[in-house]
Structure formats: structure tokens, C-alpha cells
């Protein structure tokens, strides 16, 4: 009996071993799945270092459907429409009227012929709150009906000394002291959000602010009270907070005046203004606020008409320098957004080039938008002619237009 019992026990053990062997193949897929899951979770974390994060923030991926939509729009546009979109001009340059309120038909007729990318409003174009609100609405409707794109409706509303709306006695909006008297991030954020709120209410979507210049030359009367400080790091911090404030209201922002107007002598409104700094000196001071502003998500950068002979090699204004725009701003500072000139009717430009040549040369240098040429019709015709002759490459025009339309897409 004892022998039979031991035999049965042995058989049961053998059966258990056999069963385990039969079940073992099921473990293999489970092990494979566990390994794959581990790779999916852990490997991205290993490579997700600071450099990866920085690059991702600097150049966010464009939604493929958005890119396709913009490319399709560009393809269907005529050359004349493409060239017109490269300009931001005053209401009177487009229509002959300073005040667009009550002149809707003139605007529509002019815009049908020249569907410009945007308009800029000065004090003389702004009368009352109701009139400017209706005028900007008229502009948007005309643009959407004619070309199916929103219009960039812009203004210089820096706060303090330069404030087209806040300094108009017909408007009851938040007013701020001169920028050199504002030195905390909280106050500057409030400046951006407050200005952004009333700009959005009156129909504006683009402000030529913040000023990113570092004021280091006491004889400089252009920047003076418009700059936050002579401390580059502080200017960078305040510019960042101002951009954040504007973004809460959906207002596009512009860093100005690149590569830095704070150390110059002379007034570009009247003629050439110079800085004798070299590239290394500008990297250690002037570029700091611009770099921080770019990292904060500034939408545009405005190029100054200043001369930096120790960088460029001669007196050529920066707005016509490929080295400044393509090499320094685009490559070194990695700015991916829209580049715009300062007003092309300034003395620094008209003394250097004629109105027609200035527009073409600025586009050659790498600018995307031409602001306020001295003679819009002449500049428009010159750009059109330069593209047709091959002096300006069609692919470069399309690339600038892509950046502009991507900016406009963000407004929707």
C-alpha cells in the first residue's frame, strides 16, 4: 500500500511539473509587453533634457492642417495680392482720408485695389471711442470680404510718453507714467494687460510694443523716457512681463528697436543715428532684452534704421542689412516670427534710398513687412516689378507671406 501511495504522489508531482511547462509559453508575450511598456515610459524621460525642452519651446510644431491651409491660401493668391499683404500703411495712404469713420465706401474701393496686410493708426486717425471702434470694424469686414484674411490693425501704444489712445482726451482708459518710472514686473504686467484690454475693445490686434531698448546714452532723445532702464537684465525681465500681460488679451506684440536704439546718437526720424558698439559689446547688453522677449513669445521684431558700422562694416541702416536680420536676428537669436521695418518714411531711410528702392532693399535683407513707405504706390509698384524681374525671389515673398498668414491665423 505504501508503495502504491508513493507512486501516486510521484505522478501528481510529475503532472504539476508538466502543467507548469505547458503554461510557460503564455509568459513570453507578457514579458515582451512589459519590456515594451517600460521602453515607452522610460526612454522619452531619459532624452527629455533641458536642451530638448528649450528647442521645443523656441520652435513649436505647426499644426499640419494649419500649414496646409496657409499654403493653399498662398497658392490661390495673385502676385498683386501677395505683395499688398507685405505692407502696413496709414489710413490716409490707402484711402486719402485720415478718419475712416463715415468713409466706408472709399475704404472698400481702395482696399479692393490694394488689399494691404494692415493699417497703422496715429493720433490724427483717432477721434472718439465710438468712431474708432466702428472704423476698425469696417477695416476687418473689408479685409475679410476682399481677401478672406483678417487685417493687422496696429498702433503705437507703449504707455507713458507714446500712447495714441491714452493721451487722447476723448478716451477714458488706464494711463501710465513714463516707462523709465516703472520698474517692477507686477506693474509692467498690469500695463500690458490694461493696454491690451482697451486695444482689443477698440478693435486693434497689434501693438508696436514693448520697447526693448537699453538706455545707456544720456544724449539719446529718441528712447530716453520710453526705455525701462539702463540695466539690460531688468529690461529683459520687464519686457517679458509686458508680453505676458498683452497675451492675456490676445494682442500681438512687437519688440523694438532691434538691434538696440538705446546707445545711439542722432534721431532716425531726421537722419542717420549711430552706435559705435561692436557685435560682442551688443551681445553683452543690447541683445539681452530681445533674447528674453523672443523666449517669452514676442510675435514681431521691429528693425531700427540705426547704423552700426563696427558690425555691418559701413553706415548701411540695419533695416537693409542681411547680416543684422538674417545672421544675427534669425540665426543667432533664433527668431522665427515676423520681421517688420520701422517706418520707412523716416529721414534715415529717405536720405539713404528713394521710396521705391528702400522697399525692395528691405525685403532683400530679410524683412517680412514694410511699414509706412514714404510713397505707398511707388513702393508697391517697385516691389511688384522686382518680383516679376527676378530681383526679388518669389519663394522669399511666399516665405514672408507664410509667416504673416501664420500670424493672422493666430488671431482667429
Cβ(293)–Cβ(329) below 8 Å: no
Closest by Cα among 148, 150, 146 to 119: 150
Closest by Cα among 337, 248, 338 to 59: 337
Q: Which is catalytic among the residues 156, 207, 299, 342?
A: 342
Calpha distance 339→119 (Å, rounded): 16
Q: Give Rg (Cα) of the chain.
A: 29
**Is 305 a known active-site residue?**
no
Calpha distance 224→22 (Å, rounded): 86
Instruction: Give 110-176 as a DSSP string.
Output: HHHH---SEEEE-GGG---HHHHHHHHHHHHHHHHHHHSS--EEEE-EEETTEETTTTSTT------
Beta bridge pairs of residue 340: 302, 369
| Residue 376 CB-density burial (10 A; 0-12 exposed, 13-18 middle, 19+ buried) | buried
The H or E element containing residue 254 is strand 254-258
Q: Which is catalytic among the residues 187, 269, 396, 398?
A: 269
Sign for the pseudo-dihedral over CA of 361, 157, 154, 338: positive
**Is 396 a known active-site residue?**
no
Cα–Cα separations (whole angstroms), residue 373 to 17, 223, 324, 347, 381: 90, 22, 21, 11, 12
Calpha distance 320→317 (Å, rounded): 6
The H or E element containing residue 302 is strand 300-303
Residue 234 φ then ψ, to 5°: -65, -45
The three grid cell numbers given for residue 144, joined into one nine-digit string: 475679410
Name the pairing type of β-strands 152-155 and 118-121. Answer: parallel
| Residues that are catalytic | 269, 342
Amino acid at each position: 500500500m505504501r508503495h502504491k501511495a508513493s507512486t501516486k504522489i510521484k505522478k501528481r508531482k510529475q503532472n504539476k511539473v508538466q502543467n507548469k511547462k505547458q503554461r510557460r509559453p503564455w509568459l513570453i508575450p507578457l514579458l515582451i509587453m512589459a519590456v515594451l511598456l517600460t521602453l515607452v515610459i522610460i526612454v522619452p524621460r531619459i532624452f527629455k533634457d533641458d536642451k530638448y525642452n528649450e528647442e521645443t519651446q523656441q520652435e513649436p510644431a505647426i499644426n499640419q492642417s494649419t500649414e496646409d491651409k496657409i499654403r493653399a491660401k498662398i497658392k490661390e493668391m495673385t502676385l498683386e495680392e501677395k505683395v499688398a499683404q507685405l505692407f502696413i500703411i496709414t489710413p490716409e495712404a490707402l484711402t486719402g482720408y485720415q478718419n475712416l469713420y463715415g468713409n466706408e465706401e472709399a475704404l472698400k474701393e481702395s482696399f479692393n485695389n490694394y488689399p494691404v496686410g494692415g493699417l497703422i493708426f496715429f493720433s490724427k486717425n483717432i477721434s472718439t471711442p465710438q468712431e474708432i471702434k466702428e472704423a476698425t470694424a469696417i477695416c476687418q469686414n473689408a479685409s475679410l470680404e476682399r481677401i478672406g484674411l483678417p487685417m493687422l490693425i496696429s498702433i503705437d501704444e507703449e504707455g507713458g510718453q507714446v500712447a495714441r489712445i491714452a493721451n487722447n482726451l476723448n478716451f477714458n482708459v488706464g494711463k501710465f507714467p513714463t516707462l523709465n518710472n516703472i520698474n517692477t514686473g507686477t506693474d509692467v504686467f498690469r500695463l500690458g494687460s490694461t493696454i491690451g484690454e482697451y486695444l482689443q475693445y477698440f478693435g486693434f490686434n497689434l501693438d508696436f510694443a514693448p520697447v526693448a531698448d537699453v538706455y545707456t546714452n544720456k544724449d539719446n532723445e529718441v528712447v530716453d523716457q520710453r526705455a525701462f532702464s539702463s540695466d539690460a537684465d531688468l529690461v529683459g525681465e520687464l519686457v517679458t512681463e509686458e508680453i505676458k500681460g498683452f497675451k492675456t488679451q490676445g494682442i500681438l506684440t512687437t519688440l523694438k528697436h532691434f538691434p538696440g536704439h538705446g546707445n545711439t546718437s542722432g534721431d532716425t526720424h531726421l537722419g542717420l543715428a549711430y552706435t559705435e558698439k561692436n557685435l560682442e559689446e551688443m551681445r553683452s547688453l543690447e541683445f539681452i532684452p530681445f533674447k528674453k522677449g523672443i523666449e517669452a513669445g514676442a510675435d514681431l521684431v521691429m528693425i531700427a534704421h540705426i547704423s552700426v558700422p563696427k558690425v555691418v562694416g559701413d553706415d548701411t541702416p540695419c533695416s537693409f542689412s542681411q547680416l543684422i536680420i538674417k545672421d544675427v536676428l534669425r540665426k543667432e537669436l533664433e527668431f522665427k516670427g515676423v520681421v517688420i521695418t520701422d517706418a520707412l518714411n523716416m529721414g534715415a531711410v529717405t536720405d539713404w534710398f528713394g521710396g521705391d528702392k528702400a522697399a525692395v532693399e528691405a525685403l532683400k535683407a530679410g524683412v517680412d513687412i514694410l511699414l509706412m513707405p514714404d510713397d505707398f504706390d511707388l513702393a508697391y509698384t517697385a516691389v511688384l516689378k522686382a518680383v516679376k524681374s527676378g530681383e526679388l525671389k518669389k519663394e522669399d515673398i511666399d516665405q514672408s507671406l507664410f509667416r504673416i498668414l501664420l500670424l493672422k491665423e493666430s488671431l482667429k
